[in-house]
Structure 1
Amino acid sequence: MLALRRSLTRAVAARTLAPQMCSSFATGPRQHDGTFYEFHTYCFKPSKIDEFLEILKKNIHLRTAYSELVGFWRVEFGGRTNKVFHIWKYDSFAHRSEVQKALAKDKEWQEQYVIPNLALTDEQEFEITYLVPWCKLEKPPKEGVYELVTFQMKPGGPALWGDALKRAVNAHVELGYSKLVGVFHTEYGALNRVHVLWWNESADSRPAGRHLSHEDPRVVAAVRESVNYLVSQQNMLLIPTSYSPLK
């Protein structure tokens, strides 16, 4: 019995003194000003998306009176059809709470937008995201099409995969075939998820640039490193609506 006690004591002591190795499941560092971006993805019942977009076009001014719309797109390719994607900017969670309370009390908004769309919407997904510290939100020089690339990374956060992902993104930026709009990481939603928003002049210019990147040894090396931390990837081609600030 005494020998067993001594053995347990040594084991506990060794465990206490040994460095504890663990991986954070949080997304890690973010910009310090508190600004965040809410990603909205709506899926609609078959043939209902055009009806929704028409209702929103007539009433979007009611919504933008309360907070800033960054961009609003219809999903052309990638995942389910009948889908829209939009981004809203908030200064803080207190700011968002104030906006939501005001919208709930806005009779015109509720009657002209919310209630008519309840029967049209099939599915919704909201995510809270932050721009990564090394990226600023950029506005493209003219109208075009957008691509949202979503990377699901391995658990561990930027401490594990952040530098490799940064090198892979910047390797594409340096080629100049596509313009980087923003890189976001999720705070609420699926963690260890990164969204990279790109702009291209047209849907046809995008694959032409991609072919060039695949032949560039800098890009190949950077991507080869980053995929070691990659779980999955999804690409969506986005077409901006007429009322989207990002065109």
Structure 2
Amino acid sequence: MFVLRSGLTRALAPRQLAPQMCSSFATGPRQCDGTFYEFRTYCLKPSKMSEFLENAERNIHLRTPHSELIGFWRTEFGGRLNKVFHIWKYDNFAHRTEVRNALAKNKEWQEQFLIPNLPLMDTQDGEIIYLMPWCKIEKPPKEGVYELATFQMKPGGPALWGDAFRRAIHSHVNLNYAKLVGVFHTEYGLLNRVHVLWWHESPDSRAAGRHLSHEDPRVVAAVRESASYLVSQQNMLLIPTSFSPLK
């Protein structure tokens, strides 16, 4: 209902209401194509890391023709130990379904990789992730270590916190405190979660960059703005495997 100047009232037609109801939600970055990434985390039984990675190195060639492997790492620090983390790229959901069906019928993959490795695992976790529209995956200049920083943001999605988060990330990048590989947000998994993948020359260079950034007022101001939308955060130091495309 709305009030006319004469004091009379009348009901708005449904077609008049619809644009007003939708407009407040139609802001923020969009996923412009079907491309997405799958983050896979496997928690292995203690002492089984070497066996798993040796098996993966021998047989990963059976998997990579189906979809692109972005990177494959083992965790060094952060949270539970004995974890491997890997990222796969898909053109769309139909592509992922095709890949999963093909692998289920691939006896060589099943017998040489999947069946031997399943007893080595305690848990498997997966998330479907979109790359933020304002970044692309950047390959580091040389071999190093990686840091996956995960931020749980307040409900509302990138339309609410995206701009502030972008400024916080760019404050580190533009001042050369860290090398950005990619920024991702969840589509399936815990929502309003953002993963930032950084590259560092070494754990010590990472520590030195962090110390300098914490004393830089430009970074502090940008991070403080983004932190108003933050619920929690955590990180992992990742060591690339011998067969990881990202080294």
Q: What TM-score do the two structures reach when normalised by structure 1?
A: 0.89
Q: Residue 4 of structure 1 aligns with which residue?
A: none
Q: Residue 146 of structure 2 aligns with which residue?
A: 146
**Does residue 222 of structure 1 match 2:222?**
yes
Query: Cα RMSD over matched residues?
Result: 2.2
**Shift of residue 65 of structure 1?**
1.7
**Shift of residue 210 of structure 1?**
0.7
Q: Residue 117 of structure 1 aligns with which residue?
A: 117
Q: Residue 72 of structure 1 aligns with which residue?
A: 72
Deviations 1:108-153 (A, max 9, x none): 0000011011111101110000101100111001100000000000
* Within-5 A mapping of 1:80-229: 80-229=80-229
SS of match in other structure, 1:119: helix
**Shift of residue 46 of structure 1?**
1.3
SS of match in other structure, 1:64: coil
CA distance in 2, matches of 1:131, 1:120: 31
Residue pair 1:151, 1:194 contacting (<8 A) in 2 also: yes
Which amino acid is the alignment partner of residue 229 of structure 1?
Answer: Y
CA distance in 2, matches of 1:86, 1:135: 20
Deviations 1:179-225 (A, max 9, x none): 10000000000000000000011111001011111111110001111
SS of match in other structure, 1:72: strand
Aligned length: 232
CA distance in 1, matches of 2:159, 2:134: 14
Deviations 1:37-96 (A, max 9, x none): 000000011111211111111101001121110000000001100001000000111111
Q: Residue 3 of structure 2 aligns with which residue?
A: none
**Shift of residue 233 of structure 1?**
0.3
SS of match in other structure, 1:133: coil
SS of match in other structure, 1:244: coil
Residue pair 1:79, 1:236 contacting (<8 A) in 2 also: yes
Which amino acid is the alignment partner of residue 151 of structure 2?
Answer: F
CA distance in 2, matches of 1:29, 1:219: 23
CA distance in 2, matches of 1:178, 1:202: 11
Cα gap change, 1:138 to 1:107, in 2 (>3 Å)? same
Residue pair 1:164, 1:222 contacting (<8 A) in 2 also: yes
CA distance in 2, matches of 1:29, 1:37: 17
SS of match in other structure, 1:29: coil
Residue pair 1:147, 1:198 contacting (<8 A) in 2 also: yes
**Shift of residue 33 of structure 1?**
2.1
Q: Residue 29 of structure 1 aligns with which residue?
A: 29
Which amino acid is the alignment partner of residue 53 of structure 1?
Answer: L
**Shift of residue 20 of structure 1?**
7.3
Which amino acid is the alignment partner of residue 231 of structure 1?
Answer: V
Percent identity (aligned): 78
SS of match in other structure, 2:177: coil
**Shift of residue 31 of structure 1?**
3.3
Deviation larger for 143-152 or 169-178: 169-178
Q: Residue 232 of structure 2 aligns with which residue?
A: 232
SS of match in other structure, 2:63: helix
CA distance in 1, matches of 2:229, 2:105: 45
Residue pair 1:30, 1:130 contacting (<8 A) in 2 also: no
